[in-house]
Structures are given as C-alpha cells and as structure tokens.
Amino acid sequence: MIEKKAALVTGASQGIGRAIALKLAQDGYNIMINYYIGNEPQAEEVRALCESYGVKAAIVQGDISKKDDVEALVKATVLAFGSIDVLVNNAGITKDNLMLRMSDEDFEDVIDVNLKGVFYLTKTTSKIMFKKRSGKIINITSVSGITGNAGQANYAASKAGVIGLTKTVAKELAARGIQVNAVAPGFIQTDMTHILGDDLKAKIQETVPLKRLGVPEDIANMVSFLASSNANYITGQVFQVDGGLVM
C-alpha cells in the first residue's frame, strides 16, 4: 500500500486556506489544518470535509508569528502523518491604513505574521524535506506585493518580502529536490472582500479584464498543480491568479 502524502496548510479554517485544504484532500493528501484562536469550529468543519475524501485530517491551533508555535505545529504534523510533503504558507492578516497614519504596531504585526511566519515555517519544514530530498513549498503572496497598494504599506511590504523569500529559498533548496513557488491572488471573494459594499465591488470588477472577482477555488487549483508531480520542473516562480489584473 502506498502511503498518502501529507500537506500542512496554515490559516486553513476559512477563505483561501479552506479551499486549498479541501482541494489537496480531494487530491489524496492527508491534511494538517492550522487555525488561529477563535476559529476552532470552522477548523473542525474543514477537518470533517477533508476526511470525507477518504484521507486523514487534523487541526492544530497556532500563531505562526511565534517560533514556538511553529515548531509545535510542524512536530504535530510529523507525529500525525509521519512527514510533511507539501507546505502551504497561506495564513496572513491585514491592518490597512495610509502610511502616515499607520502605527508602528500595525506595521510590525503584519510583517510578523505575513513574512516572519513564512520564514519560520519554511525554515522548520525544509529541514524535514531536506532529509527526504523532496518537497513542495507554496507561498501565498498577493498582487499587492508586485504593484504596491495605497493604504497597505505593511501588507504590500510583507507580500513583496514573501516573493523575495520564495526566490531565494528556491535557489537554496533546489539541489535537494525541493520546489518553492508562490501564488499571487488578485481580488478574491472571501470574508475580506465580503465587507466591501456592492458599489465598490462593482468598481473593482471593472478593473479586472475578466470582469469578475476570483473565488478561493481559483487559488486552490493553482496550488494543487504546484503540489503535484506535474510541477516538478518549476521552482522560484510567482503565479498571478488575478483575472488579468496585473499584466
């Protein structure tokens, strides 16, 4: 019997992370669902849905900006499934404001989760993949990290940092058969965009060449491809899934 591979997905209790976890479960991966404080009911729902595809799934609460939490998360995944074959760094936060009004704390908090968290997880998980001489690391960045975005100095900086980290780590780990890539979503229908008014969403859609917002499954499908053997000769790349917004 062939052992199922295991995927660790951060921020997987809702939105894009939820869609990624479900798609990878559908692809046959055992799934570790990381969630933040207060999201346990949603994480449990994702776990049950993943298991409906005939795979094992588990949940672990953890703040990825804390090194101890990251090490506990990785350890729990290895204990549950024996290894980690795919890491999806999806968890992220926003604390938007114009730069002149942005507090030091709001800048640092976003950098800590969105960038430092990816660094901690990549460093800790790659040690496991290093020994196996195989693995896939997929980082969820943003088109904001490519173009910048007014009111998001912290977020855009963190996501641009993720792109630089992706390319650097891809070069460092390539000799060990580990591929590292990033996916940059555009405007995706999640809880973040749900709070926007209909008029604003209509204006946003007009800026997208495909004239619609994306859905979480659009991102999950790209992650599924990058996690598969079909992407074994792809590393250090940033894939924009944005309806043509940034060309």
| Residues recognised as catalytic | 155
Round to whole Å and give the CA distance between 186 and 209.
12
Confirm if 151 and 97 have CB atoms less than 8 A apart: yes
Query: Which residue, among 162, 157, 212, has the nearest Cα to 186 in the 3D structure?
Result: 212
Helix pair angle (117-132, 67-81), 10° resolution: 30
Q: Amino acid identity, residue 2?
A: I
Environment class of 232 (CB within 10 Å of its CB; exposed 0-12, middle 13-18, buried 19+): exposed
SS3 helix, strand, coil % of the chain, rounded to 5? 50, 15, 30
